[in-house]
A and B are shown apart, each in its own frame.
Chain A
Amino acid sequence: MSSITADGQAAHAHARNEFGVGEFLSTYVFSRDHKVIGIQFLFSTLLWFLIGGILAIGIRWQLAWPWSDMPVIGPLLFSAEGGQISPEFYTMLFTMHATVMTFLVIIPILAGAFGNFLIPLMIGAEDMAFPTLNMMSYWMMWPAFFFFGASFFVAGNGASSGWTSYPPLSTMTDAAPGSGLAQTMWLIGLTCVGVSSMMGSVNYLTTIIQMRAPGMTMMRLPMTIWGMFITALLQAFALPVLTAAGFMQLLDRTVGTGFFAPEGLVVNNSAMAAGGGQPLLWQHLFWFYSHPAVYIMLLPAMGMVSEMLCCFSRKPLFGYKPMVYAICGIAGLGFIVWGHHMFVSGMNPALGMTFMVATMMIALPSAVKTFNWLGTIYGGQIQFTTPMLFSLAFVSMFVLGGLSGIFMAATPVDVFIHDTYFIVAHFHYVLFGGTAMAVFGAIYFWFPKMFGRMMNESLGKIHFLLTFVFLNGTFFTMHILGAAGFPRRLADPYHYETFRPLLPINQFMTICAILMVASQIFFIVNFFYSIFFGPKAGRNPWHANGLEWQAPSPPGHGNFDFQPIVYRGPYEYSSPDTEEDYYPQTQPPVEK
């Protein structure tokens, strides 16, 4: 672990003649190095990102040209039905789109890929506290990949009771084509993802608390690390509840318990034996995890964006402490707002009022963060690099997604717009407009550290421009559909005459969505070309302050070729104490 040569490459990397199959496996496959694990997470999640995107195109196709033959894909998949998407297949599409995007893309790409890669580098540690546990957290994802992937090929072509998997639809095998084996596989897959996240979060917490470099106090941590730290806490507290709920549903399905099924159900004209349970119980347990999960999908992204905004404005972060308190505030309030998903579920209305007040209040720390980001770029020297553009897009889109949340938080308004496209607009602005933009920015930003080469700026900017334009083309008009009462999850909304005039809007959105997925080709080409042929990056290509930029690019095993000692916070750009416009955390203070 300590065998690092002067140029920072691990010693064994030079001994190529000893490099056999065993070494290959232990270096690139079953590696315990946090950087390799991070990159493994990155590749796996980006692959699933593509799959999730293709599922979304299926949804959009049906909404724009219902019951028409889907070109190319239709004949391949449903030649028996003449190339049409069937209603049960449509139900599967949106269920699996959301499942894949939430559990196999956003959560693991933030915590798994960037959490793993960045935490030890940014706090000046040589690896995670528990490298083997870290490796296992990645390999626990593979059973999940298997179960989710294989569920496409069993009866029903995948789970189809929505990503929220509300019983009794999900627990009664007769209730829907996808409620059989596919739903069982979905639950097992979900449990594996949960165990993986749990292993990761224990590791992150220990590493951040125990392994910071000398001088790296908690109030000198980069915002990314704060985001990861609080995220790990949220996972550690909320995940056991989801895992338990998942097992309860599994028992309901397999051995005939009745946690979530009331007595006297008649499904498909046959009376159900189980009883004595309550469907709302699942919703409470599910959202007790899945609402904090919304912040798990957001806080690390907020941290990474803070990093990039400071670096490319050449300015210190505006209000570091308020930003930290805001993250803590979001996390704390995040535990008492889950009921806002259930305002019209049949929950006690008095409880709904309590959740409404808490939900209104959680908008406050989010607003504080937005104002501080604007304060950060104010008076800077703004460099419009690709990562900066994606970060600015995050801020711009997060404002939209945050403000539209206030409509849903207002209980009487939620009665009307609940389960309409308004909510679909809201969470796509937060998760795609927000988190996905931050992730793209972060890939462009830390790519030189991961692979030692720069990504192409022109291709990056084309990718940004197309994604940003088509993202808004796809999602903005969803607000309008929502205000027209257009419900989500309908295979054919035009079955209702009221919604038929909205068809042209849907066709416009679908065209934008197809173009948005197509423009990712610029990213894919840029990514793979740059891994092999991009210009070599030095240690600190962006002139940033963080510890990771003092390590070689890419860092060898053990990360640093010197013992990092931290003298200041991570955002000392344009400091009057130094002639450069940046002041790395490890640079000793200039004697005056």
Chain B
Amino acid sequence: MIQKQTDNTAANATISVTDLKFRYPGTRPLVLDIPQWQVTAGAQVFLKGESGAGKSTLLNLLAGILPAAAGQVQLLNQDLAALSSRQRDRFRARHVGMVFQQFNLIPYLNVVDNIRLASHFAGQSAEATETRAQQLFHSLKLDRSLLPQRADHLSVGQQQRVAIARALINDPEILLVDEPTSALDSELRDRFIQLLLEICEQRGSTLVFVSHDMHLAAHFSRIIPLSSINRIKHSHHVS
């Protein structure tokens, strides 16, 4: 394990958050207020939080999809706020992979096109995509016969594994994963997480895994409750 508690050395951090504040447009209260949080390169972090605690919001902020109201989000020593919206989208395409709870694929495109779409935004060549997709499919134990099938014809488990392949197709340094197993039964769930962790280790990707399910936490050496970094308490606020 490469886990080390060297959070305060910002230069070594893949993800670095300082004084981050966020509220949804409108008059609603702050959802997140994180004074300080870092994730080191290659770390595999289990971020635990109840539903409605702002886990998904935090992931969207880390990915640069939502802009922070105040404070700083740095990925790979790049301040996201310093980038234009177009640059941020490009940066996300190249350096960040995302996997959501369910429905990660464009349902009406086939598997190949779903993967190609991701490499299209990162500006990758078709050949490079082809080779990498083959490797990822092999590692994820996915059959190549799935490639020409429409995404919504796959089983949920297959869809989630294709989602990992799609998220990793551009060899991103950071993988943000949001309860990817909630639609899977328990046996599949453990196999899925094992695969995810193995592939991240192989590639040295930094993984942030958010979930409310403590059963899954067993797979991780490093568990961080969201409440320990977020000053806003969501005792009974469910959005």
Q: Real complex partners, A and B? A: no
Q: Footprint of A on B, CB under 8 Å?
A: none
